[in-house]
């Protein structure tokens, strides 16, 4: 280990009691060398502040003997890294060589560089278009999900008085938003086993219309289903089952046992006619990421648009095969899009892949209303520094579907924005990370970025 690597004396948790829950500061897939660096001689940039904060949080969550898990993680990464390089070279190396002109040896070198500079794993190299940006500053602009997720989660958990749990539960969030006048889908029931309740606490009554069922506390569109109502037969069908109201509740009760938080029953919304050229299938959503800025106000930092490409799909989620297009909020138009198969198909999208309708460069209908709704919703949670809102431009207008803390921003999702380090989002993440370090780390902590550069008498 180098002198920059951590020692027990350097670790801040020996001076102050641990205050970070390990579940909020997981030792996830990023290359763990970042956890052992000394940040006191580094340039105080937003991304370095964020890296320092994440490292401090991980160590603080594992005081004493529990720090052994961090060292074990480093050993595991050292053992795993070379086989991963070979495995992903075998899987994607030929495509990258033909597409970007990078030889197998150059690709292996790239993966080593980004492991020690970006903290990315070999799979991330192929999930992004980093190879296209070799020999430019943009080569270092991609970051792992854990680098942003850990600080956002830890800071949110420390400052939130129950609101972090509210964000994570679609039922609780929907009630809070509706009570505050924020438009949300009409919700009819929460079913958990044999019990069911309406939002006002009464016995639920289902309208004779199409219904959407989704888990109260799961992500990425898992467990979502649509039930079409047959008015003649007075039954709901999902294409495999046809159920009357009693049978429907019984089936939901059975399904809800396997759903986190139970099953929510809502109205089925449809895309507004203005966005049908870009979203002809399942309800499309804008992922609008808002952050609390230096003045304490929520502001939009990222906006992306998701569209389903399978006519049979009931969700638009990126992880469910949907495509994601960056939204240029300054110009009010769609930018380039991408999909989750970038490793094997490294191309950016300019149109809907099925309908061939042009998307990139087209004006985004109703964008101002969507962004304003996200800011209005974030004002209900001023203590949470960063929230990802899923907002649909429905046939009833903009509607908040759900929210996420932290917002999912995998390396693949950074492709269309050309990387993440130079964004306003990273600037504000660095701002909040710096505040956390200054409030929680002692003056001699190795996580205080640039401390030795700015020490008294230092030139």
Domain boundaries, the chain: 12-143+425-440, 186-267, 271-404
pLDDT score, position 415: 79
Q: What is the band of 49 on the pLDDT scale with cuts at 50, 70, 90?
A: very high
pLDDT over 50 (residue 459): no
Angstrom CA distances, 360 to 63, 200, 286, 322, 334, stand at 49, 43, 15, 16, 5
Comparing CA positions, the residue from 305, 431, 296, 435 lying closest to residue 375 is 296
Classify domain 271-404 at the CATH superfamily level. ATP-grasp fold, B domain (3.30.470.20)
- pTM of the full structure: 0.90
Cα 152 to Cα 162: distance, rounded to the nearest angstrom: 15
**How many other C-beta atoms can be found within 10 angstroms of the C-beta atom of residue 97?**
16
Q: What is the band of 6 on the pLDDT scale with cuts at 50, 70, 90?
A: very low
Comparing CA positions, the residue from 143, 151, 120, 164 lying closest to residue 57 is 151
Task: Supply 225's token pair.
Answer: 């289903």
Q: What is the pLDDT of residues 133-176, one digit of tens each?
A: 877 787 888 888 889 999 999 999 988 677 888 998 999 999 99
- Which residues are CB-contacts of 99 (< 8 A; sequence separation ≥ 6)? 131, 346
| Burial label, 253 (beta-carbon count in 10 A; 0-12, 13-18, 19+) | middle
**How many other C-beta atoms can be found within 10 angstroms of the C-beta atom of residue 223?**
17
Range of lowest pLDDT (50-54, 250-254, 451-455): 451-455
Phi, psi of 201 (to 5 degrees): 90, -5
pLDDT score, position 422: 87
Q: What is the pLDDT of residues 188-213, one digit of tens each?
A: 999 988 899 999 899 999 999 999 99
């Amino acid at each position: 280990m180098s002198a920059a690597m951590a020692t027990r004396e350097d670790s801040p948790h020996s001076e102050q009691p641990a205050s970070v829950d390990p579940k909020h500061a997981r030792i996830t897939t990023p290359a763990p060398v970042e956890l052992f660096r000394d940040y006191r001689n580094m340039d105080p940039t937003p991304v370095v502040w964020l890296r320092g904060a994440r490292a401090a949080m991980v160590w603080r969550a594992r005081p004493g003997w529990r720090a052994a898990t961090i060292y074990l993680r480093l050993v595991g990464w050292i053992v795993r890294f070379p086989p991963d390089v070979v495995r992903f070279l075998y899987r994607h190396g030929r495509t990258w060589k033909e597409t970007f002109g990078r030889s197998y040896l150059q690709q292996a070198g790239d993966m080593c560089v980004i492991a020690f500079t970006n903290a990315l794993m070999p799979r991330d190299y192929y999930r992004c278009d980093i190879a296209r940006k070799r020999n430019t500053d943009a080569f270092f602009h991609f970051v792992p999900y854990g680098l942003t997720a850990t600080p956002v989660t830890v800071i949110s958990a420390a400052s939130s008085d129950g609101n972090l749990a509210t964000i994570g539960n679609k039922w609780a969030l929907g009630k809070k938003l509706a009570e505050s006048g924020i438009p949300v889908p009409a919700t009819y029931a929460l079913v958990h086993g044999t019990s069911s309740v309406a939002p006002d606490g009464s016995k639920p009554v289902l309208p004779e219309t199409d219904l959407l069922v989704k888990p109260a506390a799961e992500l990425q569109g898992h467990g979502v289903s649509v039930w079409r109502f047959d008015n003649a037969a007075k039954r709901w069908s999902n294409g495999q089952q046809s159920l009357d109201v009693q049978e429907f509740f019984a089936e939901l009760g059975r399904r809800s046992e396997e759903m986190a938080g139970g099953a929510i029953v809502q109205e089925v919304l449809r895309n507004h006619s203005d966005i049908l050229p870009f979203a002809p299938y399942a309800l499309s959503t804008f992922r609008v990421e808002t952050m609390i800025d230096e003045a304490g106000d929520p502001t939009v930092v990222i906006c992306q648009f998701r569209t389903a490409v399978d006519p049979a799909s009931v969700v638009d989620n990126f992880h469910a095969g949907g495509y994601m297009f960056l939204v240029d909020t300054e110009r009010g138009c769609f930018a380039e899009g991408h999909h989750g198969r970038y490793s094997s198909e490294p191309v950016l999208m300019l149109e809907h892949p099925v309908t061939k309708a042009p998307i990139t460069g087209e004006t985004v209908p109703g964008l101002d209303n969507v962004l304003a709704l996200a800011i209005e919703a974030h004002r209900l949670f001023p203590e949470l520094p960063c929230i990802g809102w899923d907002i649909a431009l429905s046939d009833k207008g903009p509607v908040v579907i759900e929210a996420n803390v932290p917002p999912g921003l995998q390396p693949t999702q950074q492709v269309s924005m050309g990387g993440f380090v130079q964004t306003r989002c990273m600037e504000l993440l660095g701002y909040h990370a710096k505040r956390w370090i200054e409030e929680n780390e002692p003056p001699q902590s190795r996580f205080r970025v640039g401390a030795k550069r700015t020490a008294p008498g230092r030139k």
